[in-house]
Amino acid sequence: MQNRPITFSIKTRSTKSHARVGTIETPHGVIQTPAFIPVGTKATVKGITPEMVKDLGADSMLANTYHLYLQPGDEIIKAHGGLGKFMNYDGPTWTDSGGFQAFSLGVALGKNITKFTSSARPGYDEISLKGSGHKVESENALLPAKVDEDGVMFRSIIDGSAHYFTPKKSIEIQQNIGADIIFAFDECTSPHEPVEYQKRSLDRTHRWALESLKTHVENTEAFSKQALFGIIQGGRHEDLRKESAKFISELSYNGIEFDGFGIGGSFAKEDMITAVHWVNSILPENKPRHLLGIGEPSDIIKGVMEGCDTFDCVMPTRNARTGTVFVNDSADTFSYVNLNLKNAKYKDDLGPIEWGCECYTCKRYTRAYMNHLYKAGEMLAGTLATIHNLHFMAKFMEKVRGEIVAGNL
């Protein structure tokens, strides 16, 4: 296989689970795995600078293709020399494909279905989306994202203008943005969709995967600088998940395969690790596996034990902006709690967010001060809590790697 811009090496394998410790070497630095990747949706982690992200211990950052395409536009980012130079970040960068926005702005909109959803299936008043074969709820007629066989029509969340993403378009945008690792365009489905739709959607995702790979390989300049990950879908169905893992892991164009894999989908909470187990039992060992949209530490541990290497999610930073922080709970290596710093009980608490924490926030500010900032609506609250949560995540992943090496995980 042709030399690629990333190299994945496994350093240690657990004897008690499928966990492994390794490195992903990219043109802009090394990612120690397992790793949590902070999300800077619009080329920024809200409230802190890119330099701070790196200083907090994160090895890389992930940005959102859909949002950057709308604002400021991928051509402007290309003119800067790519995502890293645009936001003054010299570490490894990732971009997702925009496929998840087809889901979150489409059939999931307004139904409290995100990365995780309840097991109960909501009621459906089905109509057909013209030309797509996709049955959607009747109120979906004016949703800002609609899927058909060739791509997704988006309505801009900024001005309502229409934009059409095909796999080719998604890859071309990501090539302009210039991240080190990019993803194939896919359709993320709700676990509530019937199996018949899941099958049609999976066929579509597989066709889009080939078109994504073809587009990337044929752009020789981008191909030499960027790694492309294929995405596995299949909902909550074992046969579809395994079919997708086999298809995506064996797919090639002109002898070129995907550089790694993303495990996608919206899950019922109890389904996630089962689906990951099905997939990772088939994916090759010598390529990195990214579990898309997972950021709760307890879920990350489960993913690591099933052989996942990297994770991304907005949750740790979004929670920080709304007042919730992670705090280690006991001497137990991975025990933690979520504290809501807006609670009245912290108004007079003169202790740090977490005793013993070495982050900038905990060494300088009290829970009482944080409570005051949130109650006063001061933007500094979100900044200081984001610093703490990302520091927590970096230290958490460091502990995970250490426990795998020690043979304890």
pTM, two decimals, is 0.90
Question: Helix 380-405 vs helix 297-305: angle between axes, to the nearest 10 degrees?
Answer: 30
Q: Which CATH superfamily is domain 7-97+171-187+194-313 in?
A: Queuine tRNA-ribosyltransferase-like (3.20.20.105)
348 part of the active site: no
The pLDDT tens digits of the residues spanning 122-160 come to: 333 332 333 334 343 334 445 677 889 999 988 888 898
pLDDT score recorded for residue 269: 76
Residue written as token pair 């690629």: 4
pLDDT score recorded for residue 287: 98
Which of 180, 259, 309, 312 is an active site residue?
Answer: 312
Low-confidence ranges of the chain (pLDDT < 70): 1-2, 100-143, 331-332
Enumerate the β-bridge partners of residue 58.
Answer: none
Which of 59, 96, 186, 309 is an active site residue?
Answer: 96
Q: Which residues contact 221 (CB under 8 A, 6 or more apart)?
A: none
Tokens of 236: 């909550």
pLDDT score recorded for residue 376: 98
Strand order through the sheet with 289-291: 35-38, 310-313, 289-291, 260-263, 227-232, 181-183, 93-95, 61-63
Tokens of 247: 């298809």
Give me the residue spans of the domains in the chain: 7-97+171-187+194-313, 321-405
150 part of the active site: no
